[in-house]
Amino acid sequence: MTAEDHTPGRVAYQGAPGAFSHEACLDLRPWDEAVGFETFQGAIDAVLSGDCHCALIPVENSTVGVVEPAATLVREAGLVAVSDAWRPIRLALMGVPDARLSDIKTAESHPVALQQCSKALNEMKISAIEVFDTGGAAAAVAEAGDVSRAAVAPARAAEVYGLIVLRNDLQDFSDNRTRFVLFTAPEA
C-alpha cells in the first residue's frame, strides 16, 4: 500500500464516530470505510490481523507532545508508516440542547484533548473528566441528558450526537495541531 493508493478498503481508528481520528479518516481517506475501535490496541490489532488494511493513528500534538499510549503501541507492534499529515485541532465545548455555558460543571474528553484546553477549562471553573475518546464523550453527554455535563470534541461531534456547541476554539493555543500517521502491517 502507498499513500497514493485509492483502492477502497477499511481504515482503523481509535474512537467513536465524531472523534478527531474519525474526522481525520473521513477527510484523508474518504474512499475507505472508517472502522472505530475503543482502544489504540484494538485498531492496531485490526491491521495486524488483516481485518483492516491500515490504521490512522495520532502520534504527536503541537501542544502536548507525543500522544501516548498510541506512539508506543505502534512502535512495539512494528507497524509501517506510509504517510502522515498534520491537522489543525479545534476543540469545541458541547452540551445538551437545553444547556447554557453557565450550567456546565464538568467536561469529558480524551486525556490528550483535555490537556490541550486545561487553561480554558480552569478559567471557566469546569472540572475535567477523562474518558476513552472525544466522540465517545459527546455520545455519553447526549445520552445522559444532564445540562451540567459537557464534552470536549470536534464541532462535528455535536451534529452527530444532537448536541449544541457552547464554545468554539476551546484549545489553549490557536496553532494546536496533531500529526496523524497512516500505518500498515509489516511485510510478512
Contacts of 106 (CB under 8 A, 6+ apart): 126, 127, 128, 129, 148, 149, 150
Q: What is the mean pLDDT of residues 22-26?
A: 94
Is the confidence at residue 2, as pLDDT, over 70?
Answer: no
Contacts of 54 (CB under 8 A, 6+ apart): 1, 9, 11, 12, 29, 32, 47, 82, 182, 183, 184
> Per the structure block, which three cell numbers stand in for 156?
462535528
Q: In sequence order, what are the beta bridge partners of 88?
A: 177
**pTM across the whole model:** 0.86
**What structural domains and CATH numbers belong to the chain?**
10-88+176-184 (3.40.190.10), 91-167 (3.40.190.10)
Convert the pLDDT of each residue in 143-179 to its tens digit.
999 999 999 999 999 999 999 999 999 999 999 999 9
| pLDDT category of residue 4 using cuts at 50, 70 and 90 | low
**Helical spans, DSSP H, in 50-92:** 70-77
CB-based contact 118:171 (threshold 8 Å): no
**pLDDT at residue 132, as a whole number:** 86
Active site residues: 178, 180
Average pLDDT, rounded, for the chain: 94
